[in-house]
Structures are given as C-alpha cells and as structure tokens.
Structure 1
Amino acid sequence: MKVLAGLTVVCVMASITQAELNITEEQRSKLLAHHKACSKEVNVGDDVAEKLLDGVFPNDKTFKDYLYCLSKRIGFQNQAGEVQKDVIVKKLKDSIEDPSKAEEYALKCLVEDKDPAELVYRVVTCLQESTPNLLFAQ
C-alpha cells in the first residue's frame, strides 16, 4: 500500500530509503526539510519522528506541536490552524486501496478543536485507527 503522501513527513529520518516510502527523491527532500524545520521550531530530536514511524502518538504538548508544524508545512492545515479537507481527501485517495472511501475516512476523522495542535493530533490518530496501514509502510 502506498504511504500517505502528506503525513509521511514523519518518515523523513535519514535512514529511511526512498523505496521504503514509495516517494520520489524530490518528495523525500521536501519531507526531510519539513522534519528539520519543525524539529528546530519545536525543539525536538529525531526520536519524535521515530515514534511516529512506530505508530506511537504520545499524548503530550511537544509531540502535538511538532505534528502541527508538519501539518501546516504540508498543507493539511492553513496558517490559522484550519484543516484543509480537500487536501486530506486527495492524499487519502492517492494512498488507500479503495479511493472511493477517502471522503468517508476524512469526514469521520475531521473534528473541531480550538487548539490547532490538538486538532491535528485528533485527526491523525483517528486516521491511523480507521486505516491502520495508511501512515506506515507494511
């Protein structure tokens, strides 16, 4: 199964190869740049991205802030923190076995929250629970 193009930004560790991610070299470079920028902005180490690769979503502020930074950089949320449903649906269609279910998954997981970091955390954890193979290459 393809890796979710946008949210795979969490997979940018240098040890992850282009083939494992099923992405182009250009996409890999962008993902690495996003990871580096967000790591610096939020002041986290590579262990945070490693947790994401393992499917672990710590319920803590630092992790959520890192995830929010990534989400803005890849276009899942705008600068005001609002979720961009169309972007998420498009990425889902490109990543799941049955693209016709993309809208269903997006609608199920798009929630409201005043805190944009909490919002993206809730969306991502919902997507992972709804489609377990979506975020991580199996």
Structure 2
Amino acid sequence: MLFKKNMTYVHSLLVFSVILVLIKISEAGYSSYLSSVVRKCKRESGVGDELIHLSMMGKFKPDIDFKEYLYCFSKKVGLMNYDNSMKNDKLEHMAANILGDYSLAAHIREDCDNTLYDTLNTVYYTFKCYITRIREALLDDRMTSEEIEIDLRPYRKRHHRY
C-alpha cells in the first residue's frame, strides 16, 4: 500500500487524505480543491503553518486559531453534519482505507467518538485522536516488517483496547 511504504507522505498528508474518500474528483481537481480549502481556512482562522505542520506529525497544540482552522476544514470537506457533529462514519472509512483494516478502524472510531465538548473542541479532539491512533497503527505495522531495524516500542505510548 502506497501509504504504508512512504511514511513521510502519510505524515504530511494524513489530515488531508480525508478528501480522497469524501469527494469524487480527478487528481488535478483534488489538488486544486484542497489548496483552495486550505488557503481559505487558513485565512479565516488566522492559523500559522507551524501548527498545521506539527499536527500532521502528531504534535497538537490546543490553539484557538488551529481549532477554528480544523472546524473550517471539516465543514468545507463534508466531515460535519448540519448540527456540527462529526461524521464519524466518514472518518472511520478514511481510517480503514489508510490502514487496510476495517476492524482496527472500528476500534479507532469507538475510541475517538466524542461529543463531550463544544464544537471547536470536539473537532480538535476528534482529529487529534484519529491522527494519533492511525499513526500508532502505521508504526506498529512497520515494526512487524523488515523495513525498520530500530525497535521504537519502548518509547511509544500505547492506547490499544484490544
């Protein structure tokens, strides 16, 4: 799978890979649409590139501008219902496509499904949870392959319930 072979690509585009699952447009249209959504949401929220980049690496900061950016992005790409709740079925489907494992994606959905917060915090914590869990699963998968020789397991936090 392309995503598993090139972890840098996955880390860089994990948040934005949701678009591929949600909309049916050509590759050129995808890039153009994605660029316009990112630009518009960055402008509307005032978020800096550094916070977006850090989040793609799994390092989240609870900055209000970043939360507004995620909210804007989620609305524009169809990850939210009209009542501002997350479309977790779409996020689960995206996770399953990236991981190639529907059972694991269902576990991630259970762990990441929350409505305990206001809208901005719900979006923030949902994205944080999905990205963290997908990255952990991809790292676990790479640990079982022969591609990595260094054992990173003692240094990672594990939050698996299965």
Give the TM-score, by structure 2 length: 0.63
Cross-structure match for 1:8: 16
Corresponding residue of 1:27: 30
The answer as to whether partners of 1:9 and 1:70 remain within 8 angstroms in 2 is no
Q: Match of 1:109, as an amino acid?
A: C
Name the counterpart of 1:74. 77
**How many Å apart are 1:99 and its aligned residue?**
2.8
Report the AA paired with residue 49 of structure 1.
I
Q: What is the CA–CA distance in structure 1 between the aligned matches of 2:39 and 2:49, rounded to whole Å?
A: 9
How far is the alpha carbon of 1:9 from its aligned partner? Answer: 6.3
Structure scoring higher RCO (CA < 8 A, sep ≥ 6) equals: 1
For the Cα contact (< 8 Å) 1:128–1:134, is it kept in 2? no
Aligned residues: 124
The alignment-based identity, stated in percent, is 26
* 2:67 partner SS: helix
Tell which deviates more after alignment, 56-65 or 96-105.
96-105
Greater helix fraction, Structure 1 or Structure 2: 2
C-alpha RMSD of the superposition: 3.0
Deviation at 1:134, TM superposition (A): 7.2
Note the alpha carbon deviations across 1:87-120, whole angstroms, 9 max, x for none.
1122112111323322221121011134111001
Aligned to 1:19: none
Q: How far apart, CA to CA, are the structure 2 residues paired with 1:8 and 1:133?
A: 18
The runs of 4+ residues in structure 1 deviating greater than 3 Å are: 3-6
TM-score (norm: length of structure 1): 0.73
Task: Identify unmatched segments of 5+ residues in structure 2.
Answer: 4-9, 19-25, 143-162
Task: Answer yes or no: is the 8 Å Cα contact 2:71–2:120 preserved in 1.
Answer: yes
Q: Is 1:108 matched up with 2:116?
A: no
